[in-house]
Amino acid sequence: MKKILVINTGYRIFGGEDTNIVDELDLLKQSYKIEYLEFKNSDKLNFQDFISFITSNNKKSNKSLQKIINDFKPDVAYVHNTWFKGNLGIFELLKNEGINTIHKIHNFRYDCTKSIKTSNHLSGNDTCLKCGLDRNSLGFFNKYYQDSYLKSFFIYIFGRRYYKILLNNPMKLLVMNIFHKEHLVSLGIDSSKIRIYYNPINMSKENSKGYNSSSNTVVYAGRLTESKGVEELIKTWNKADTKGLKLVLIGEGNMENYLRNKYVSDEIHFTGLLTNDETKDYIQRSRAVITSTRMYEGQPRILSEASSYGVPSIFPSFSGMQEYFPEDYEFSFEQFNYAELKEKIELLKDKEKLDHTSKDVFGHLYEMINKDKLLLDFNRLIKET
């Protein structure tokens, strides 16, 4: 049995990417011997953290990795998020140890953090579709962290070096859709290194049979931030004919208090942060899930979770998100076209269409990411590596 070392830096606020790691570990354990190394970022920075920011090389983290390599002797290293405790030095360490490496890229932030000037970050646009930040919030310098020039400078150093690693390191790169692969190729990265590999979702044909098109809830689950377009979603919801429906917003973020105070309504309910199981329960019992994200997404967790229960999704059709849905899907809308979003919200009154769509979205996703297919694809990837 092949031995795989999975490496990840967890987010301070547990989110969709962290949940993806948990599910992927459970999947891979069915066919491989797995060791998991997780680094944790803390609110308080110490002297070693500042040194690692400047050098993009954390000696303490590398020491932990070296110990596991010596003890576990992995055949393959499977690397996820490295910012910032994981650090970029792990790629060099793995290369020097002769360990074949696979790196999964979950988002597009690498393309936002490698520029020190806002003009280079935005490439002439007013808003960045890769991270959701806009020209007014950034200023002349690429202030990626709105509360700190220092952290923004550190992630610029990190981003520049990370981009060079993507270009030059021979490791295999995994992304979750064709759009993302084409974006990497447009940045000069060798297409032969890039593979499409989806995040697993626990899918059961029995679960999909419980869909209720008469449910009175529509669910958003994710961070309550500007980049997720949550306020635009609420504004559009308030303009639409939503009689008998309630919008449930699950999650927390820097806009939570502002949104709670401004949008007080019997039709809008904020739950705060819930556990993964609580969130899935809301999704499973909803009429639909909804997002108006302003950013490119990898494989949006909420949409995949919904389809796994046969629950239709309303989402902006761009950046590869439509790849997870059948052709001619009727509940997607043009990005930033909030008049069309309003139409899709009002389309939720058509229960016959919802019932038909429920079967289609489950069937489409099941063909893409059932467990047997994912394990077969990963085994092929291991043989290539």
Q: Give the model's pLDDT for residue 279.
A: 94
Q: Are residues 264 and 180 in the same domain?
A: no
In a domain, 144, yes or no: no
Is position 142 within any domain? no
pLDDT at 169 (0 to 100): 97
Question: Are 251 and 289 members of one domain?
Answer: yes
Assigned domain for 236 exists? yes
Domain count, the chain: 2
Predicted confidence at residue 56, as pLDDT, reads 86
Yes or no: say if 82 and 88 are a contact pair by the CB < 8 Å rule. yes
Closest alpha carbon to 128 in 299, 151, 117: 117
* DSSP type of residue 141: B
**Helices within 148-201 (DSSP H only):** 149-168, 178-186
Q: Is the peptide bond before 84 cis (omega within 30 degrees of 0)?
A: yes
Q: Considering the domain boundaries, does residue 136 fall inside one?
A: no
- Which residue from 343, 51, 64, 361 is spatially nearest to 203, judged by alpha carbons? 361
* Residue 175 and residue 74 share a domain: yes
What's the average pLDDT block by block, 10 residues per block, for the chain (385 residues)?
A: 95 70 95 96 79 88 97 98 94 97 94 91 86 82 84 91 96 96 96 96 84 98 92 98 97 95 96 93 97 91 95 95 95 96 98 97 94 95 89
Instruction: Specify if 116 maps to a domain.
Output: no
pLDDT for the residue 99:
97
The pTM of the full predicted model, rounded to 2 decimals, is 0.91
- Whether the CB-CB separation of 314 and 333 falls below 8 Å is answered with yes
Regarding whether 184 and 76 lie in a shared domain, the answer is yes
* Cβ(90)–Cβ(165) below 8 Å: no
Please check whether residues 235 and 349 belong to one and the same domain.
yes
Query: Which of 136, 134, 133, 139 has the alpha carbon at shortest distance from 117?
Result: 139
> Are 120 and 142 spatial neighbours (Cβ–Cβ below 8 Å)?
yes
Q: Are residues 298 and 270 in the same domain?
A: yes
348 in any annotated domain: yes
By residue range, what is the domain housing residue 364? 205-369
| Same domain assignment for residues 98 and 195 | yes
Residues 289 and 186 reside in one and the same domain: no
Per-residue H/E/C for 251-287: CCCCCHHHHHHHCCCCCEEEEECCCHHHHHHHHHCCC
Same domain, 93 and 42: yes
Would you say 6 and 28 are in contact if contact means Cβ atoms under 8 Å apart?
yes
Q: Is the dihedral of CA 157, 162, 167, 169 positive or negative?
A: positive
In a domain, 121, yes or no: no
CATH label of the domain that carries residue 340: 3.40.50.2000
Give percent helix, percent strand, percent coil of the chain, each to the nearest 5.
45, 15, 40
Per-residue pLDDT, 47: 80
Query: In this structure, is residue 135 part of a structural domain?
Result: no
**Domain co-membership, 183 together with 281:** no
Per DSSP, 228 falls in state G
Q: Are residues 222 and 319 both part of a single domain? A: yes
* 195 and 302, same domain (yes or no): no
